[in-house]
Amino acid sequence: MARILVTGSADGLGRMAAALLVTAGHRVVVHGRSAERAHKALEQIPGAEAAVTGDLASIEATCQLAHEVNRLGAFDAVIHNAGVGYRERRRGDTRDGLPEVLAVNTLAPYILTALIQRPQRLIFVSSGLHRSADADLEDFTWTQRPWNGLAAYAETKLHEVLLAFALARRWPDVFSNSVEPGWVATKMGGPNAPDDLDAAPRTQAWLASSNDPAAHISGKNFYHMRQQPALAAASDTALQDRLLAECGRISGVALP
């Protein structure tokens, strides 16, 4: 039995993955960006061990969430599921002066990974759209370019693959991988999404908990329980290190 944290588990794929893990007998801690959403997650996933709260659009709140998680003790796995979608227009910048999609999808997984007691497994939920991203990390915070929500989202999904691969390289004692759940009919994906919704949460749950040797691997990208080649740039170690440096600089949080 594993102990697993699933971020963004009040609805969508996070809730589905958490429910699968609870049904399989694992100890699951759920997360919501507000106390109301955390309570909703706990109600909708009977058997979940506890709920934690933290607005991942805020650097300070994300750091506080990491400390709250650490107070609960050690975890075997963390599924970085929480995300902001490409359908949303750019909102007013966060209190830290960042686009929300960057704060939630890129910076928060970095901060949580840096501050939470190191688990045995890390899973970063990415997207097939990462292959369309600009991989040069120029204008990382979108201060110079005209805003493009789809491009910004794709970049953050590439960042998640880069984070997974960077952690696999830096922490050889941790299984760190990224997952493409597919374009599915969640609130983020929209009602007409064509992919298999039932299959969408299963790979991340499997990577977080399975004793299958195929899940005991690191530095890979997965789609529906199989390895899927990522954008070639994701394997560029210099690019990985540059992303880590940018995240550390902006957040003020150093990666151990």
199 found inside a domain: yes
The total of structural domains in the chain comes to 1
79 found inside a domain: yes
Return d(Cα 53, Cα 118) in angstroms, integer: 20
Residue 185, domain CATH: 3.40.50.720
58 found inside a domain: yes
Return d(Cα 63, Cα 71) in angstroms, integer: 13
Q: Which residues contact 232 (CB under 8 A, 6 or more apart)?
A: none
Q: Give the pLDDT score at 194.
A: 46
47 found inside a domain: yes
Indicate the DSSP class of residue 78. Answer: E
Q: To which H or E segment does residue 51 belong?
A: strand 50-53
Q: Give the pLDDT score at 184.
A: 46
45-49: Cβ within 8 A, 24+ apart: 45/9, 45/15, 45/18, 45/19, 46/22, 47/22, 47/23, 48/18, 48/22, 49/3
The reply to whether 153 belongs to the active site is: yes
What angle separates helix 237-251 from helix 149-170, to the nearest 10 degrees?
110
User: Containing domain of residue 51, as a range?
Assistant: 3-251
Which stretches within the chain are classed as H helix? 12-23, 35-44, 59-71, 100-102, 108-115, 149-170, 202-209, 237-251
Whether the Cβ atoms of residue 159 and residue 106 lie closer than 8 Å to each other: yes
256 found inside a domain: no
| Catalytic-labelled residue, pool 157, 187, 220, 223 | 157
60 found inside a domain: yes
Q: Give the pLDDT score at 213.
A: 96
Q: Nearest Cα to 4, choosing from 24, 23, 40, 29?
A: 29
Stretches where the chain sits below pLDDT 70 are 86-92, 182-198
| Catalytic-labelled residue, pool 40, 86, 110, 153 | 153
Return d(Cα 42, Cα 6) in angstroms, integer: 12
145 found inside a domain: yes
Q: What's the pTM? A: 0.94
14 found inside a domain: yes
